[in-house]
Amino acid sequence: MNPESIRKLLEEVRAGKLSPDEGVERLRHLPFEDLGFAKVDHHRTLRVGMPEVVFGPGKTPAQMAAIFRKLAKHGKNVLATRATEEQFSAVKKISRGAKFEASARAIVLRRDRKRYGKGLITVISAGTSDIPVAEEAAVTADVMGNQVERIYDVGVAGIHRLLAHREAISRSRVAIVCAGMEGALPSVVGGMIGIPVIAVPTSVGYGAAFHGVAALLGMMNSCASNVTVVNIDNGFGAGYVASLINRL
């Protein structure tokens, strides 16, 4: 069902082939969600500049390539997260322009290089082990048309390293902060600046880090009020929501 079929129905009413009561009855038996005009329009706007995304884990290289080929047809940027070299090899064969961002574990096909974000997104990570998650966030924001700046290895146990970047951070419109272990960095960053901070707990650590739970809890309880949190290792989600904020 679509606008055309409804117009046809209305034309039948106009032509007297269908009484208003019969028209009501026929409309009545349509699944209402198929009417959904506004929905389509609304979403159309929303989707401008949004990449097509595929989550890598559990897919064979062949499956990944097939999905990637299908998504690439829409003419937008395509992003495969948590991808492997093997998946990339298969994708490369069917999509010449695809690149492998190794440190982000991402396959990226860039078509649309327009700048949609109004300002700077800064991605900050506590330790070097947090970089893959930070890069996933950075690459996502980049693919979604944002200027991105990276500030890595500025954990809270060496607070001066972070302070050295204070000016850069305060030029940002949104900050993404990735940290494992005690997950304290978002609180410190949040206290330094007055912008939204998206905290990403990482599964970095061992023992009582519980694969990111300690960091997650730390961030949920941040004493800085400008911090919100996404799932453990969810660099993509952080980059995505930061991009939405940066378009506002």
> Sign of the C-alpha dihedral, residues 97, 129, 220, 82?
positive
> Hey, which residues between 221 and 240 contact a copy of itself (CB under 8 A)?
221-234, 236-238, 240
Q: What residues have CB less than 8 Å from 200, skipping those under 6 apart?
A: 133, 134, 137, 176, 177, 178, 179, 229, 230, 232, 233, 234, 235, 237, 238
- The H-or-E segment that residue 54 falls in is strand 52-55
The C-alpha atoms of residue 156 and residue 196 are separated, in whole angstroms, by: 19
| Residue 66 is a binding residue for a copy of itself (CB under 8 A) | no
> Hey, which residues between 85 and 144 contact a copy of itself (CB under 8 A)?
118-119, 126-127, 129
Query: Mask: binding to a copy of itself, 153-192, rule CB under 8 A, as x and -?
Result: --xxxxxx--xx-xx--x--xx-----xxxxx--xx-xxx
Query: Mask: binding to a copy of itself, 10-49, rule CB under 8 A, as x and -?
Result: xx-xx-x--xxx-xx--xxx-xxxxxxxxx--xx-xxx--
* Number of residues counted as binding a copy of itself (CB under 8 A): 107
At position 35, the amino acid (one-letter code) is L
Residue (107 or 215) nearer to a copy of itself, CB: 215
**Three-state DSSP state, 64:** helix
| Range in contact with a copy of itself (rule: CB under 8 A) among 91-99, 103-111, 145-153, 207-215 | 207-215
- How many helical (H) and strand (E) elements, i.e. helices and strands, does the chain have? 11, 9
Residue (95 or 244) nearer to a copy of itself, CB: 244
Exactly one of 141, 148, 198, 235 binds a copy of itself (CB under 8 A); that residue is 198
Nearest distance from C-beta of residue 86 to a copy of itself, angstroms: 18
| Range in contact with a copy of itself (rule: CB under 8 A) among 89-97, 106-114, 146-154, 194-202 | 194-202
| Beta strand residue intervals within 95-237, DSSP E | 99-101, 106-109, 120-125, 147-151, 174-179, 197-201, 227-229
Q: What is the DSSP letter of 74?
A: T
| Residue 209 is a binding residue for a copy of itself (CB under 8 A) | yes
| Range in contact with a copy of itself (rule: CB under 8 A) among 85-93, 97-105, 107-115, 198-206 | 198-206
Residue (30 or 93) nearer to a copy of itself, CB: 30
Nearest distance from C-beta of residue 96 to a copy of itself, angstroms: 27
Q: 91, 80 in Cβ contact below 8 A?
A: yes
Main-chain dihedrals φ then ψ at residue 135, nearest 5 degrees: -65, -35
